[in-house]
């Protein structure tokens, strides 16, 4: 009975956290022309895609617009650092690594806040407190956005302790609120035609992709290893290498990187040049240059996140330290060289 009560308390706590998070994404920042901000952000596919990916609310300037975006990006950066197998990083205590992760989150939140304010600068009303020559409006907006991001991290950590789903559970409200727009407009501003045929095709494709994704996610390669320190059935074991070593991360960031070139061209004012026109018109889903670029990006992300998630050098070092080895392969560098091609082929 006590166990059930604990489950109920955790569920209720998570629901409360999600409500607070969703409410924070509806509180508009002061000093903004909301109508103009909405118009500006409706044409910014990059920030909308980033918000959809990380559960943020990037289509409007709200208290929790950044959401867990800075934290998720910081975790990717931290995993990349850990994959380098630096001894000083490996020897850090949990407290030390936690402080460093929060510092990285703070830096990334500041950078993402500056980018968002840059796009919305025309919608920010002037704020003069010290001098008529110093407009504090953009700085205050960045400060509030960063504060909101750190608050999102705080309540996410509280949910990890007292609720269900950990910190990542907070991306659920943002994703659910962004789904209707994603279904109706995709990655553009033109509303797609929703017919019974198109809806049926979308449902069938979604189910097929979902089932295939489960099969691929569960598949793994197995490299037989010897464990001489164990005198049991576990002495003949294997090293599991997931077939999809990168997980879902490449697909989460694929579309955001794909539309990045066109956004950079427009932001720099080169959209009317020959090169700018080529990038905007050709690097999309309907032309061969765009299809090739799309394939290149997903291969690159798959390779990068695969290395981050499963560091061959770290795996080889751990096998060597435990006294385990692969048949006919020397421990250390030779084992790393054996794992690397099997991780990405």
pLDDT tens figures, 198-251: 778 878 888 888 888 788 778 888 888 877 766 655 556 788 888 888 777 777
Q: At what angle do helices 45-54 and 249-258 cross, to 10 degrees?
A: 170
- Quote the pLDDT of residue 143: 93
**Residue 280 within any structural domain of the chain:** no
The residues facing 131 across adjacent strands are none
Spatial CB neighbours of 62, under 8 Å, sequence gap ≥ 6: 24, 25, 26, 27, 28, 29, 148
- Quote the pLDDT of residue 240: 83
How far is the C-alpha of 231 from the C-alpha of 136, rounded, in Å? Answer: 69
Mean pLDDT of 5-33: 87
**Residue 80 within any structural domain of the chain:** yes
- Quote the pLDDT of residue 206: 81
Task: Decide if pLDDT at 188 tops 60.
Answer: no
DSSP E strands: which ranges in 152-261? 220-226, 236-242
**Residue 229 within any structural domain of the chain:** no
Task: Decide if pLDDT at 144 tops 80.
Answer: yes
Total number of domains in the chain: 1
- pLDDT tier, 169 (very low <50, low <70, confident <90, very high otherwise): confident
How far is the C-alpha of 192 from the C-alpha of 196, rounded, in Å? Answer: 13
Upper half-sphere CA count for residue 223 (Cβ side, 13 Å):
23
For 184-212, b where at least 16 C-beta lie within 10 A, e where not — what string? eeebeeeeeeeeeeeeeeeeeeeeeeeee
How far is the C-alpha of 214 from the C-alpha of 193, rounded, in Å? Answer: 30
As a three-state string, the secondary structure of 26-38 is CCECCCECHHHHH
How far is the C-alpha of 238 from the C-alpha of 225, rounded, in Å? Answer: 5
**Residue 325 within any structural domain of the chain:** no
The residue ranking higher by pLDDT, 271 or 34, is 34
**Residue 282 within any structural domain of the chain:** no
Are 332 and 320 in contact, with CB atoms under 8 Å apart? yes
Nearest to 69 by CA among 175, 159, 143: 175
List the 236-242 sheet strands across, edge first: 236-242, 220-226, 325-326
- Quote the pLDDT of residue 241: 83
Are 338 and 329 in contact, with CB atoms under 8 Å apart? yes
Specify the CATH number for the domain of residue 45: 1.10.3370.10
Nearest to 187 by CA among 296, 301, 53, 22: 53
**Residue 227 within any structural domain of the chain:** no
Looking at residue 170, the DSSP 8-state letter turns out to be: G
- H-helix or E-strand containing 161? helix 137-162
Nearest to 178 by CA among 324, 69, 332: 69
In the chain, % of residues over pLDDT 70? 85
- pLDDT tier, 192 (very low <50, low <70, confident <90, very high otherwise): low
- pLDDT tier, 56 (very low <50, low <70, confident <90, very high otherwise): low
Q: How, if at all, do strands 236-242 and 220-226 pair?
A: antiparallel
- Quote the pLDDT of residue 236: 62
**Residue 9 within any structural domain of the chain:** yes
Range of the domain at 68: 1-192
**Residue 345 within any structural domain of the chain:** no
């Amino acid at each position: 009975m006590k166990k059930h009560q604990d489950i109920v308390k955790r569920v209720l706590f998570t629901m409360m956290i999600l409500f607070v998070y969703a409410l924070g994404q509806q509180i508009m920042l002061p000093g903004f022309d909301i109508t103009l901000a909405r118009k500006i952000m409706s044409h910014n596919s990059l920030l909308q895609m980033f918000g959809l990916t990380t559960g943020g609310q990037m289509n409007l300037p709200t208290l929790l617009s950044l959401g867990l975006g800075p934290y998720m990006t910081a975790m990717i950066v931290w995993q990349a650092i850990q994959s380098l197998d630096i001894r000083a990083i490996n020897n850090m205590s949990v407290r030390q690594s936690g402080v460093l992760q929060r510092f990285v989150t703070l830096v990334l939140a500041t950078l993402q806040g500056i980018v968002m304010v840059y796009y919305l600068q025309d919608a920010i009303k002037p704020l003069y407190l010290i001098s008529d020559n110093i407009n504090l409006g953009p700085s205050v907006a960045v400060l509030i956005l960063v504060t909101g991001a750190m608050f999102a991290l705080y309540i996410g950590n509280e949910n990890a302790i007292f609720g269900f789903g950990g910190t990542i559970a907070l991306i659920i409200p943002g994703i659910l609120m962004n789904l209707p727009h994603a279904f109706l407009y995709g990655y553009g501003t033109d509303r797609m035609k929703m017919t019974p045929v198109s809806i049926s095709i979308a449902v069938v494709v979604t189910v097929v992709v979902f089932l295939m994704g489960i099969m691929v996610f569960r598949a793994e390669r197995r490299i037989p290893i010897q464990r001489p320190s164990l005198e049991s059935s576990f002495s003949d074991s294997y090293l599991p290498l997931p077939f999809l070593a990168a997980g879902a991360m490449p697909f989460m960031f694929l579309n955001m990187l794909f539309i990045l070139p066109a956004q950079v061209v427009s932001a720099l004012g080169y959209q009317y040049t020959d090169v700018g026109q080529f990038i905007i018109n050709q690097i999309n889903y309907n032309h061969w240059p765009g299809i090739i670029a799309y394939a290149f990006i997903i291969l690159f992300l798959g390779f990068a996140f695969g290395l981050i998630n499963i560091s061959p050098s770290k795996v080889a070092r751990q096998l060597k330290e435990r006294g385990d080895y692969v048949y006919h392969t020397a421990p250390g560098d030779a084992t790393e060289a054996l794992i690397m091609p099997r991780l990405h082929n």
